[in-house]
Structure 1
Amino acid sequence: MISSLNTNTASYSSIRSFGAAESAAQASQKRIASGLRVADAYDNGAAFSVAEGLRGDTAALGAANERLAVGKGMIDVAVKAGQFISSSLQDARATLIKLSDPSLSADDRANYQAQFKNQVGDIGAFVKDAKYNGVNLLEQGAQNRNIVSNGSGGSVSVRAQDLQTSLVDVLSNADVSTAGAAASLLQPGGQFAQAEDTLGSALNTLSADAKSVNNSIKSNNSIIDATNTGLGEIVDADLAKEAASLSAAQAKQQLSGQSLSIANQAPQALLGLFR
């Protein structure tokens, strides 16, 4: 190897080593700061593309769960209203039993008739107020709702129950003018008995739909959790490893700097040959 003032091979080598160590330190610092081994396409294009696809899948399932939560809210409000209606029906049944007594005085019969009318009115109010986000599953003309359930276009059905027509209107028009008329309402196949059966069927249907919605939400959450676990295996940084790599890179920077300093002193040593 010749001794030259123009070409300092050792200096070039030290500069390259310093640059490599600096790049390694920056890469480790980026991973530590973000917590990701693959934070963008520059880190690993193929892995980043796969990761973005998985993120899209989880976002789609999350969006589906948002819509399912709306469906769950519709059903919950309808079921709660149905429970209040059931309680009012029990009170109305007790009133009808009293009205079926032929020994009632005219004044008592009038009072119980007014009470029955108020109880039916309460049921009508429960039906009217059973709204969630502007949707009432119990009112007249209510439509079934198909709610997106996953990221592939699947859906679950929430079935409307027209309790206004099948229950409130029926009881509003029921004849309670006499003991016999009131008694006939309570008989199997009577209007009141049919109203009770209608409510029971409606609550059973709503409960079944609620179970379908809840199962879809649970399934989506399980898939999201599993997908996120797999995603982490692809993109997450091993912080313990990165901390060690950063320390090593910083040590290499220091050594390369010292090596560069020594290499830069070589031309000064050549000057001594001419003294």
Structure 2
Amino acid sequence: MSSINTNIASMTALQALRSTNADMLRTQNRISSGLRVADASDNAAYWSIATTMRGDHSSISTVSDALGLGSATAEIAAKGMESAIDIAGKIKDKLLAARTPGVDRSKIQSEISELQDSLKSVINGASFNGQNWLTGDSSTDTERSIVSSFTRSSDGSISIGTITVDLDATRLMDTASAGSGGSVSGILDETVSVGSGGSSAGTVLTLDIGELTDSADDLALIEAMVKHVDTAIGKMTDAASSLGAVKTRIDIQKNFADSMKAAIDKGIGQLVDADMNEESTRLQALQVKQQLSIQALSIANQGAQSILSLFR
């Protein structure tokens, strides 16, 4: 039956054209954005997973930045410790020279004083981002916690890992006030004990041989100073080893965080990225379908015109 009110062929062709246009719009959006799943309406499950993974990627990136700062701080502290060990070794050499009877110890003390000032400068200067692991107040500053990991479990809960640095093991100078009833715990704050009574003769940073003579007691005091500085160097060497181990651990965690970021990027891409080869092929096919649909609609519309010939 032919009807001028209802053109079934035209309606069918129009419906096919609308469907093809919708498919073309979707394909063009994928090509322009590079995403197969751009929002929740494309694929709710994949979009939700990808959104969570993007959030985790951002968190892990922040962890990586924190580890980078921690690594730089540890490296600065380690370099400062190495310089401090070198200067302390020079102080020990000067004390050994002062042990020889007849030398001018006041001149040697002048050199030692310069080395002591240099040692303090190195310790105070080993700071990065406002943090100094070689000096500080032991009563309030005992450790540092560096964020090292961000983990999401299967139930969606998250956990944050940290690397703890024991500052009591690396502190060379303690800024705590011993005069107000407190105590100092820096490696270089320990005093030289002399004789059975344990009388104090200063620290590595304050010892003074300028007034010492060739008497047996004074020579024994110099020997005690040499031994004390050597002991301090040994402790600083252990502290340097600890700092090196901390830096190695931080670097390992940072490399792992960077690997995690790359893996998450790959996982997100597998879920939501569009296959450009596939989409370009689909677009060409849809363009052909669109042209055919337009041609079919044109033919269907022309069919109604043939009815007029029946009335001529």
Common fold: TM-score over 0.5: yes
Unaligned runs of 5+ in 2: 151-158, 174-185, 191-202
The answer to whether the 8 Å contact 1:159/1:209 transfers is no
Establish whether residue 117 from structure 1 lines up as the match of residue 124 from structure 2: no
Partner of 1:159 in structure 2? 166
Structure 1 runs, 4 residues or longer, greater than 4 Å off: none
Structure 1 unmatched runs, 5+: none
| 1:251 paired to 2:285 | no
**2:45 — aligned with what?**
46
| 1:136 pairs with one of 127, 132, 136 | 132
User: Is 1:172 aligned to residue 212 of structure 2?
Assistant: no
Counterpart-to-counterpart distance in 1, 2:94 and 2:39: 72
Equivalent position of 2:244 in the other structure = 207
How big is the shift at 1:168?
A: 5.9
Matched-pair contact (CA < 8 Å) for 1:82–1:199: yes
Match of 1:63 in 2: 62
Mapped to 2, the partners of 1:206 and 1:171 lie a distance apart of 22
* Percent identity of paired positions between Structure 1 and Structure 2: 31
Counterparts of 1:256 and 1:92 in 2: how far apart (Å)?
Answer: 93
Query: Which structure has greater strand proportion?
Result: 2
Question: Quick check: 1:71–1:158 contact (8 Å CA) kept in 2?
Answer: no
* Kept in 2: contact 1:159–1:206 (CA 8 A): no
Q: Distance in 1 between matches of 2:264 and 2:55?
A: 11
Distance 1:219 1:233 in 2: 21
Aligned match of 2:223 in 157, 170, 183? 183
Conserved 8 A contact 1:150-1:220: yes
The answer for the alignment partner of 2:301 in structure 1 is 264
Shift, 1:134, TM fit: 1.2
Aligned counterparts of 1:84 and 1:168: Cα–Cα separation in 2: 17
Distance in 2 (CA, whole Å) between partners of 1:114 and 1:132 is: 31
Once the two structures are TM-superposed, the CA of residue 68 in structure 1 deviates from its matched residue by: 1.7
Letter in 2 for 1:184: A
Partner of 2:79: 80
1:216 aligns with 2:253: yes
Counterpart secondary structure, 1:148: strand
- Verify the 8 A CA contact 1:32 1:243 in the aligned structure 2: yes
RMSD: 1.7
Contact 1:64 1:148 in 2 (8 A): yes
- TM-score scaled by structure 1? 0.91
